A and B are shown apart, each in its own frame.
Chain A
Amino acid sequence: MRISLNPGVSLSLISTKQFKTTRIAVDLITPLKSESLTKRLLLASVLENSSQKYPSQKILSEELARMYGAGFGVSTERKGNIHALSFNLECVNEHFLNTNSQLLEQGINFLKEIIFKPLLDGNRFDPKTFERQKEVLADYISSVKDDRQLFATLELNNAFFEDDGQALPSFGDAESLAKITNEELYKYYIECINNDQVEIIISGDVADEKSRKIAASLNFSDRYPEKVPLFYVQSLQNQIKERIHHLEISQAKLNLGYSLPVYFQENKYYAALVFNDLFGGQPLSKLFVNVREKASLAYYASSSYDSFRGFLSVKTGIEAKNKNQVLQIVNQQLEELRAGNSAKKEIETAKRSLINSYLSQLDHQGVLLSRALFNGLLNKELQENEWIEKIKSVTIADIAEIAGKAHLEAVSFLDGKVKNENN
């Protein structure tokens, strides 16, 4: 259930006895802008690590311990054309503790402190926190290349997307980070707190009335945020953009990026899900079976589909000399799907796997929060049965049509110029 608390501020309630915990998410939503990628993440880190009442990590962690080890985090997420700044808290339902503590009340008061009363020094954040978090983020950005799989993924993104906000990594880049001043970040914070769309989500064994009271106590002001289309749409590219890097690496990485202009909860969305599952979405998919099991060419070979950006990507870890053979096998799998050459049994398995994972996800409280957020933003909520029916009704022709839409536009390849050495 989603209700409007005041203009620009909504509350979604997921009342359930299934879990031993209560979760609260406060999501601030704004249109994605490339120049704010790094800023928003830095803001999240600064807010996560100190506040007026909890001026150091030590004091902050102790408060969380006092709430029986409440889980807490501030994070950002890029999804389609929007950029979320999320405050998350998870605490144990007192019912399972022999205590008089009111953990949910304690938790919401804690969140209030974090969101509205950061540790300040005039019109800027506490300089010590700001500088240290900037350094930590810079260190992280500089070490991304060390994770080869991640690096291959980021390079593919960068080659595929035309818009900077999508092409850059979700954490932005070192140059924009270096330029952010403390004063500027504080100004940005004030903007976020006053203008961003607010989505509050509460899940747990909490009565509706109580949830409403708790959410209202956060006291977010009225706001009229700019509405942007949720989905990022990019026109078809005629050229395949390629990124090649030579690194010290023992296993080469070959990633492929396809345009797949089908979006979340559209009519064809369900066919796209089934298609992805058949193609490379899970270990029984064509990619895994043919690249790994039959040809013994890789340890991993999979695809994933981003329905907020119309983007299909393939990841493989292979021996560099097999690049062309792998490319050919991947392409061949897509051709098979285009030609409608899928066994009935395969399609059934794919559908079952999707339904299994959809229903299984209902057992994860965090996933429930995230589903509630995006359903809320779309103002569209499907019942479990409807979702399952839509998956079941996908036909082989639908799948072939989707496969026909997948259009290769980017390749990233990391290979090992030097053989690995041991100490």
Chain B
Amino acid sequence: MKIIDYPNFEEKVYQKVLSNGLTVNLVPKVGFHKTYASFTVNYGSVDSTFVSLDDNKIMNRPDGVAHFLEHKLFEKPDYDAFELFGQLGADSNAFTSYTKTSYLFSTVENVRKCLETLLDFVQSPYFTKESVEKEKGIITQEIMMYNDDYNWRLYSGIVENLYPHSPLSKDIAGTVESIQNISSKDLYDCYRTFYQPSNMDLFVVGAINPNEVINWIEENQSKKQFPSAPQIMHSKTMINDEYDIIPYRTLRVDTSRPKVAVGIRGNIELPAGKKGLKYKIALNIGMYLLMGESSEAYNELYDNGLIDDSFDYDISVGRGYHFCVISGETSNAEKFIMKVTELLKSANETISGQKVEFVLAKKEFIGRQIQSMNSLEGIANRYEGKLFDGAMSFDAVKILKELKMKDILQAIDEFIEPDNMSVYQVLPKEDVD
């Protein structure tokens, strides 16, 4: 087992790639009561089109299939994994994102049994026609719940603008219509293609002894047979070249205040490995200097009543995509859009003048990174696997310390272009412009 030591933070990471290809990361946390484990497959909502393992043909599966599979994996012929965790005293959950599906538990007792339950239930698919049909009702309600959430509509609206006709433009859960077409065969096909140990990782953090835990895991894995692992072809970019960015759309609903999102799409390919993490951090600092709470622009917009505490920018980085969404509620959508767009267009100039602020920003980011080490979930969920070449949240501090102003300017320069921006608004009905 490889040990990566972070003496400054009094943390250690124990790492091993098992013979079946599964990557295991273990982080013991002294003084903690809880153990948190996350079993993740590098497969998410964007992977509904893939190359068949049998005949190399392109397969299309209904939108929402990864999320559907996540729901159904808990159910077994003779038990329900969720219930089993409960009986062991653990909480369990799962979530699906654009590019990942994670199954997790947290517990203060029965860690070994919980780990075995996690590995076993994820590694033994069982889907029937009946149970698939029943799940459709539940997922339909879930989709409808999100439909009433206007912040969610705003976010998915802007992403759809940025990536028209691409898998990213589709809701993670699919649509009420698309999920009606999901069959148990679809679930098996997707499972077989993506749920291979070499396409997965297990992260365990908390009150553990790593040497003991790795033995438990290896013993469990050695009892199982996995079919040989064919190469999975992930597409390099989520951008569909046939369609341009949709510059502007508006949704009118029964809301009392306008909500606006300005999106920026990264058109370059994300640098590979740890450089990708460095790029992501540089973008975050760049945006912070441009419109974070201590920036002049933020203060001006806030004092003039154009933004309030709901104002935020969020940089999303994943396999095949990276984009930024700047959003907030406002009393004047038009001015909000104008100001934010102006700010983005002169980003480099504005940022390059902020030498003092940059030093402060680095301090703040370093401090925040260390604060996040208090959270087991934070440590595990920030792990991005292959995307950042296995970087841990502990590595981010070193990257931050070495970061130069020119790195920020270069990242911002590559990222922001006038023609990769878009606007999406959710406006009240009576507000006619």
Contact = CB atoms under 8 A, between A and B. Distances in A.
B190 to A, nearest CB: 23
Contacts of A219: none
B87 A352 contact: yes
Given A58-B296, A363-B376, A356 B91 contact: yes
B371 interface: yes
B367 A67 contact: yes
Contacts of A19: 374
B256 A292 contact: no
21 contacts: A17-B30, A18-B31, A65-B364, A66-B363, A67-B367, A90-B371, A91-B367, A96-B370, A97-B367, A132-B303, A142-B257, A146-B255, A282-B91, A284-B83, A297-B141, A299-B138, A356-B89, A356-B107, A356-B109, A365-B374, A423-B252
Interface residues of A, number: 71
Query: Max chain A CB contacts within 10 Å: which of B90, B137, B365, B371?
Result: B371
A70 interface: yes
B82 A92 contact: no
Contacts of B134: 296
A314 B319 CA distance: 40
A135 B303 CA distance: 11
A17 B31 contact: yes
Interface string B144-186: 1101111000000000000000000000000000000000000
B108 A299 contact: no
Interface stretch (A2-10, A34-42, A108-116, A244-252): A244-252
A247 B150 CA distance: 14
Contacts of B371: 20-21, 69, 71, 90, 92
Nearest to B300: A58
A300 interface: yes
A297 B137 CA distance: 7
B33 A353 contact: no
B89 A355 contact: yes
**Size band of the interface chain B makes with A:** 35 or more
Given A132-B303, A132-B305, A363-B34, A146 B363 contact: no
Contact of A69 (B82, B296, B366): B366
A397 interface: no
B367 A296 contact: no
A310 interface: no
A392 B363 CA distance: 47
Interface of A: 16-21, 56-58, 61-62, 64-71, 90-92, 96-98, 128, 132, 135-136, 139-140, 142-143, 145-148, 247-251, 282-284, 292-293, 296-300, 317-319, 345, 348-349, 352-353, 355-357, 359-360, 362-363, 365, 420, 422-423
Interface of B: 8-10, 30-34, 82-83, 86-91, 106-109, 134, 137-138, 141-142, 144-145, 147-150, 249-257, 292-296, 298-299, 302-303, 305, 308-309, 329, 331, 357, 360-361, 363-368, 370-371, 373-374, 376
- Return the 9 tightest CB-CB contacts between A and B, nearest first: A68-B367, A69-B367, A296-B137, A61-B294, A69-B364, A18-B31, A352-B89, A248-B254, A299-B141
A356 B108 contact: yes
Contact of B364 (A64, A284, A296, A423): A64
A282 B292 CA distance: 37
B86 A423 contact: no
A411 B278 CA distance: 52
Given A250-B148, A319-B141, A360-B33, A139 B363 contact: no
Nearest to A132: B303
Contacts of B30: 17-18
B168 to A, nearest CB: 18
Nearest to A318: B141
A363 B8 contact: no
A20 B32 contact: no
Contacts of B252: 423
A413 to B, nearest CB: 15
A249 B299 CA distance: 35
B305 A296 contact: no
A146 B308 contact: no
A359 B33 contact: yes
A349 B91 CA distance: 11
Nearest to A95: B10
Contact of B249 (A300, A420, A423): A423
A54 B353 CA distance: 22
Contacts of B145: 251, 299-300, 317
Given A18-B31, A20-B374, A299 B364 contact: no
B89 A146 contact: no
A146 B150 CA distance: 7
A147 B149 CA distance: 7
A143 B107 CA distance: 38
A297 B141 CA distance: 8
Contacts of A355: 89, 108
Contacts of A17: 30-31
A248 B134 CA distance: 27
Contacts of B254: 247-249
